[in-house]
Amino acid sequence: MGLFKKRQGDKIRYKFKDRVERGEFRGSEIEELVMPDTVRIVAESGFRESRKLRMASLSDQLCEIGAYAFRDCDMLENIVMPGEMHYPDGSNGMIGIGAFEGCGLLREITIPSGISVINANCFHNCAALETVTLPRSVRAIRSGAFAGCARLKTLNFSVTPELIAIDAFTDTPQLERILSVRKPVLTVIHNFSYGLPEIFQFTAATRMIGVEQTEGDMSIQIDDIDDKRIAFRITRYTHAGGSHVVPLNQSTVLFHEEYECSDRVGTRREEIVATYR
């Protein structure tokens, strides 16, 4: 079975592979995508800027959609997602940063069961997006995830996600509703000069004082919290360990380093920034 179908019947054959490689079909001329169920992973920028792509039916066995995988597929009107996304070990599947950013004609999306995080800018500036359905498995919606979706009239979820970034729904009709139900969130972002940022979110509530929270490679413990600031300790991570105080609505740098990189031109920078809002 070919991976693609074109109007004229031409096909790009895609047998015996379980992944679309990084940037493999970036800028392709394909108009319709029918992905065989052998495919489990679409890597970073796999179909990015495929500006003629109108319809995509994804693999039922898909467990990962990488960062920017369909970014700026600005003719994409319809995408059929799998019913659920889990890795072979049973852990939750992933939709990466900016995966569908700038898909300006996309009208509706149903997030598969098993997705726990809607990553930063995932559907940013999907201007025609009208209906979004979230499964119960979604616990976090990152910064800018649906920002700029100016026609987002219907947002379906049976359980309010625990962690919603304050700007996740900026410039959408859902903003007022979301601001009325969301709780404050502690967000820690590790930015790199090269590569994607690592984003961690934690529940910022008095009931979590003294309780260790873990997300990915980072663990924290809140020592104190009120409506003006949060005091916490990073108990497990490669950088920025120790105690920190972050004022409400103010970005605070926890770690900053610059150094020469032997395999790249120029200076490499790393920075860890926290916000409480």
> Which among 161, 182, 203 is the end of a domain?
182
Average of per-residue pLDDT values in the chain: 92
Residue 12 has a pLDDT of 45
CATH number of the domain residue 163 falls in: 3.80.10.10
> Which among 135, 163, 182 is the end of a domain?
182
What does the pLDDT look like over 47-97, one tens digit per residue? 999 999 999 999 999 999 999 999 999 999 999 999 999 999 999 999 999
For 152-172, what is the mean pLDDT?
96
Q: Judging by DSSP bridges, how do beta strands 242-247 and 154-156 pair with one another? A: unpaired
Statement to judge: residues 178 and 189 lie in one domain: no
What's the rounded Cα separation, in Å, for the pair 122 and 79? 14
What does the pLDDT look like over 205-252, one tens digit per residue? 999 999 999 999 999 999 999 999 999 999 999 888 899 999 999 999
Statement to judge: residues 60 and 28 lie in one domain: yes
Closest to 222 (Cα-Cα) out of 197, 246, 253, 198: 246
CA 61 to chain centre: 19
- Cα distances (Å, whole numbers) of residue 214 to 115, 141, 217, 233: 18, 17, 7, 12
16: confidence class by pLDDT, cuts 50, 70, 90: low
What's the rounded Cα separation, in Å, for the pair 259 and 17? 39
Q: Which helix (H) or strand (E) holds 4?
A: strand 4-5
Statement to judge: residues 129 and 230 lie in one domain: no
CA 208 to chain centre: 25
> When comparing pLDDT for 260 and 225, which is higher?
225
Give me the amino acid identity at 2.
G
272: confidence class by pLDDT, cuts 50, 70, 90: very high
Statement to judge: residues 189 and 133 lie in one domain: no
Statement to judge: residues 2 and 107 lie in one domain: yes
Statement to judge: residues 112 and 65 lie in one domain: yes
Statement to judge: residues 94 and 170 lie in one domain: yes
Statement to judge: residues 152 and 124 lie in one domain: yes
What's the rounded Cα separation, in Å, for the pair 172 and 109? 16
> Which among 157, 182, 207 is the end of a domain?
182
Statement to judge: residues 32 and 132 lie in one domain: yes
How many residues in total does the chain contain? Answer: 277
Tokens of 210: 């003294």
Statement to judge: residues 229 and 106 lie in one domain: no
Question: Domain range for residue 20?
Answer: 1-182
262: confidence class by pLDDT, cuts 50, 70, 90: low
Statement to judge: residues 128 and 140 lie in one domain: yes
For residue 111, give the DSSP letter.
Answer: P
β-bridge partners, 242: 234
Query: CA torsion angle for 188, 193, 196, 199 (degrees, to 10)?
Result: 0
| Domain count along the chain | 2
